[in-house]
Amino acid sequence: MSVVTRFAPSPTGYLHIGGLRTALFSWLTARHHGGTFRLRIEDTDLSRNSEEAMAAILRAFDWVGLSYDGEVVYQSQRFDLYREYIDRLLEEDKAYRCYMTREELDALREAQIARGERPRYDSRYRDFTGTPPAGVNPVIRIKAPQEGTIVIDDGIKGRIEIAAEEVDDFIIARSDGTPTYNFVVAIDDALMEITDVIRGDDHLYNTPKQLVIYGALGFTPPRFYHVAMINNEQGKKLSKRDGATDVMEYKARGFLPEALLNFLVRLGWSHGDQEIFSLEEMIELFDPRDINKSASSYNLDKLLWLNAHYIKAKPDAELIELLKDFGVDLSDHPKASAILAATRERGKTLVELAGQIRLITEVPAAYDEKAVKKAFKEDTVELLKDFSFRLYKNQPESQEDFHVEMQRLVEEREIGFGKIGMPLRVSLLGSMTGAGMDEVMAILGVDETIARIERAIGELGVRN
């Protein structure tokens, strides 16, 4: 039988990285088996739906490149279908109407909590045959088993037994007739023929309820895999306060989707000592049974390291495209590949890389104070003038030509490399760090190099 997995978000907000990881795990499981990956939107609570959130989730999927099969299923469009199953359960006496009001329910809950009990519905209308109270729109509850145990055979956590008493006759249809979450999930997973349900372990307690539905309707349950949560760097639950939890925020911050995916796949899953996984390798090697039981913590340093790795490996043409979103357009630049060669190892994100590139392509807007202090000494101006005259006279072109010019200067004048290197660097880039000087000069060309040196002398020369 072919494998079918799904990702089933509710459209109440953007896609966060925890959600993306479970989506990735589900996607990989399907792709590994050449199966099917479906997307389903859990929007049964009509009051909480958001078009915008829906679109945001789809955008995030698109950015990271997770493809889904078939049409997106919207639960809000399947209410008639769910109704049929509710009627069937009612007919078969596997579900019943409950006339308790919200107020009565609240009172019951409070009393139970006060007594130190686990709050649960007391099944008072389970076998009710009398005259229903007037003016109450009933909810519909399922008859859950009252004794025995419900067993979850989880692909990650192993066998989990839950006492039947823990699962009450939960509501499957609200008083307005709309079906509830646990009910529709079970129906849809069954009808969509989902074979492997991979979801966050915050859903672990929903599983016995869904198993009750499967049982009542005679469906065969799928395999379940409950993945532990991702915590923040302090080991606490990831929340919006922890910075970028929105997947699209990573795009804005200059992360590559392959880095994010590689980072996420290693959170709770591994394959020996391997750290770097292409999408193809992930698909080949991933098995949900290898997912770890314990929660893992988000770690920005590792993500940054991976991002740097993928930036280094990115072909020029693709990098040039990506950089456009960060205010750098190298597409018509004759020295584009030289610029990237000089800078790509100096940026952990596209934002940083764009900054490094601008250092070269734009005339320094300011000169770093500390750098100036350190680099500009008494004889600096004279030295720079000498160097720039040599450039004018010899017209070097290649990186090597420029290197030779520097080499000759330090040899003939018997000075250290730093003597010219530092002030030159400050003059050209405005900063003490960055790409190699010969590289930069070859990119700028003689004229621009001289112009920047002269400008720096004009701005800084008189100060010391």
- 162 neighbors 152 (Cβ within 8 angstroms): yes
Smallest distance, Å, CB 5 to RNA? 17
Phi (first) and psi of residue 136, to 5 degrees = -115, 120
Give catalytic residues, as residue numbers. 240
Distance from C-alpha of 167 to C-alpha of 212, rounded to nearest angstrom: 9
Amino acid at 255: F
Structure tokens given for 426: 């400050």
State the angle between helix axes of 417-429 and 399-413 in degrees (0 to 180), rounded to the nearest 10.
Answer: 130
Q: How far is the CB of 26 from RNA (least distance, A)?
A: 16
- Closest to RNA by CB, 216 vs 420, is 420
- Of 355 and 421, the one with the shorter C-beta distance to RNA is 421
- Least separation in angstroms between residue 40's CB and RNA is 10
Q: How far is the CB of 151 from RNA (least distance, A)?
A: 11
Q: What is d(CA 275, CA 258) in angstroms, rounded to the nearest whole number?
A: 13
Distance between CA atoms of residues 205 and 225, nearest Å: 13
DSSP state of 130: S
Output 237 or 331, the one with its CB closest to RNA. 237
Measured distance CA(283)–CA(270) in Å, rounded: 13
- Closer residue to RNA in complex, CB, 59/309: 309
Considering the complex, state which of residue 192 and residue 432 has its C-beta at the smaller distance from RNA. Answer: 432
Residue 220 is encoded by which pair of tokens? 């065969």
Query: Which residue, 382, 381, 407, is CA-closest to 394?
Result: 407
Pairing of strands 95-98, 139-142: antiparallel
- d(Cα 380, Cα 383) in Å, to the nearest integer? 5
Q: How many residues does the chain have?
A: 464
Nearest CB to RNA, comparing residues 88 and 312 = 312
Least distance between RNA and beta carbon 174 (Å): 3
121 or 286: whose CB is closer to RNA?
121
Please report how close the Cβ of residue 111 comes to RNA at its closest, in angstroms. 12
- Residue 82 to residue 78: CA distance in whole angstroms: 7
Nearest distance, CB of residue 348 and RNA, angstroms: 8
Q: Which residue has the tokens 């995030």?
A: 60
Cβ neighbour number for residue 93 with a 10 Å cutoff: 9
> Residue 293 and residue 269: Cα distance in Å, rounded?
10
The strand pairing partners of 161, in sequence order, are 151
The packing angle between helices 316-323 and 350-361, to 10°, is: 90
User: Shortest CA distance to 88 belongs to which of 174, 170, 172, 176?
Assistant: 172
